[in-house]
């Protein structure tokens, strides 16, 4: 069953339709990338309205839907509503701006609009469980990420800037089959490593620094995500203690990951190790998140997420310790939850590398 067919089976009745407007959900349902367009889905029909820039390619590539040239959105939506006898339309509440929803309501003043989270929740849960094809794309993206890590190690040395490392990684990824990085790469050194989402700049690597790389690639629309921290020259005993603590927290959390476990319980395992080592308050973010078409998807490994892990979910596990103004360490792997345990897609070494 295709993604569109699965979604159609979850619509409440024959008079209900959904407008899929967001770029990532259009791609999820049609398999066709585009910066504009909308998908109109009822129980039995799916129509993809798309403009002239994409129409020829969409007719060849879009899956499970009728592709129609978008000429007059208001008139075409009115025609679809009449043709399929639609009485109510649901929207993507998580993704559609209020102004856009109001625009659609003005186009169709006689139609009831469902502004609840129903459509978005349905799609979100569908996207939590990855298909074999999605998993294969994510594995390919991670293989490029691992290769980029191996490639970049020889470039990490005193005098090289954070920005230069980011540029080299991005170039390598694109040269080796990625569309590009799956987010703005985090390649930071020295005191900047205490910033979980630090931005690479002109700061140059020095002996005694930690260097943290949070990187990922995109293949066929799907993301990977991995973080490694390496040492440049001799580091202090405290730096080594922090690194070992983060690695232990990650190892124990990975060992506990399994279908049927609660997300918040996995987070607690890693958080307790870090807190008990004397670093309470130094791990401010959640332990991990799902990955797919977006780099951050549901569910989350966090204290506030009570979702239950299921086979087919892809999760990151990324504990960190951040000592403000001094240094930080994060180690991140990306794994697939299976009925028998997990498969770790991240192959890069985690024992501390000293360059």
* CA neighbor of 32 nearest in space, from 19, 44, 43, 20: 20
Same domain, 75 and 156: no
Last residue of a domain, one of 84, 105, 127: 127
Q: Which alpha helices (H) appear in the chain, and where do they start and end?
A: 3-10, 23-30, 55-61, 73-83, 98-107, 118-128, 132-152, 162-175, 237-256, 263-274
CA distances from 58 to 2, 7, 27, 178, 297 (A): 17, 20, 11, 22, 26
Residue numbers of the domain that contains 102: 3-127
Same domain, 144 and 224: yes
For residue 322, give the H/E element and its range: strand 320-323
Give the separation between CA 43 and CA 255, rounded to whole angstroms.
42
User: Is pLDDT above 90 for 1?
Assistant: no
Tokens linked to 268: 């607690």
> What local confidence, expressed as pLDDT, does residue 265 receive?
98
pLDDT digits (tens, 9 = 90+) for 274-313: 999 999 999 999 999 999 999 999 999 999 999 999 999 9
Residue 29 maps to a domain: yes
> What local confidence, expressed as pLDDT, does residue 298 receive?
97
Same domain, 106 and 180: no
pTM for the full model? 0.94
Indicate the average pLDDT of the chain: 97
**Torsion, CA 130, CA 299, CA 336, CA 271, rounded to 10:** 170
Same domain, 23 and 114: yes
Give the separation between CA 228 and CA 134, rounded to whole angstroms.
24
Number of structural domains found in the chain: 2
Tokens linked to 190: 């020295």
Query: What mean pLDDT do residues 324-347 have?
Result: 97
Same domain, 117 and 155: no
Residue 350 maps to a domain: no
Q: What is the DSSP letter of 244?
A: H
Same domain, 76 and 206: no
Query: What mean pLDDT do residues 47-52 have?
Result: 97
> What local confidence, expressed as pLDDT, does residue 308 receive?
98
Same domain, 200 and 313: yes
> What local confidence, expressed as pLDDT, does residue 225 receive?
98
Helix (H, G, I), strand (E, B) or coil at 167: helix
* CA neighbor of 18 nearest in space, from 148, 118, 163: 118
């Amino acid at each position: 069953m295709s993604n569109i067919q699965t979604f159609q089976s979850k619509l409440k009745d024959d008079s209900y339709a959904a407008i899929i407007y967001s770029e990532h959900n259009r791609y999820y349902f049609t398999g066709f990338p585009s910066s504009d367009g909308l998908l109109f889905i009822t129980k039995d029909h799916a129509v993809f309205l798309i403009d002239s820039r994409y129409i020829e390619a969409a007719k060849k590539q879009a899956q499970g839907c009728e592709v129609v040239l978008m000429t007059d959105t208001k008139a075409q939506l009115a025609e679809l509503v009449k043709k399929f006898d639609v009485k109510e339309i649901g929207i993507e509440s998580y993704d559609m701006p209020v102004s856009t929803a109001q625009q659609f309501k003005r186009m169709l003043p006689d139609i009831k609009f469902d502004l609840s989270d129903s459509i978005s929740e349905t799609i979100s849960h569908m996207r939590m469980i990855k298909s074999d094809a999605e998993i294969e794309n994510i594995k390919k993206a991670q293989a490029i990420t691992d290769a980029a890590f191996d490639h970049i190690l020889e470039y990490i040395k005193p005098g090289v800037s954070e920005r230069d490392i980011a540029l080299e990684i991005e170039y390598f990824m694109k040269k080796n089959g990625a569309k590009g990085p799956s987010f703005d790469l985090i390649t930071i050194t020295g005191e900047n490593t205490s910033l979980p989402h630090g931005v690479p700049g002109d700061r140059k690597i020095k002996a005694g620094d930690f260097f943290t790389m949070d990187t990922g690639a995109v293949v066929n629309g799907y993301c990977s995500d991995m973080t490694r921290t390496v040492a440049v020259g001799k580091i202090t005993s405290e730096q080594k203690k922090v690194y070992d603590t983060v690695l232990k927290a990650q190892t124990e959390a990975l060992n506990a990951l399994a279908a049927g476990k609660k997300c918040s319980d996995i987070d607690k395992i890693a958080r307790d190790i870090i807190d008990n080592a004397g670093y309470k308050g130094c791990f401010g973010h959640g332990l991990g998140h799902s990955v797919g078409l977006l780099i951050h998807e549901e569910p989350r490994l966090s204290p506030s997420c009570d979702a239950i892990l299921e086979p087919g979910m892809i999760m990151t596990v990324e504990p960190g310790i951040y000592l403000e103004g001094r240094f930080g360490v994060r180690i991140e792997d990306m794994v697939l939850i299976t009925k028998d345990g997990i498969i770790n897609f991240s192959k890069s070494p985690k024992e501390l590398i000293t360059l």
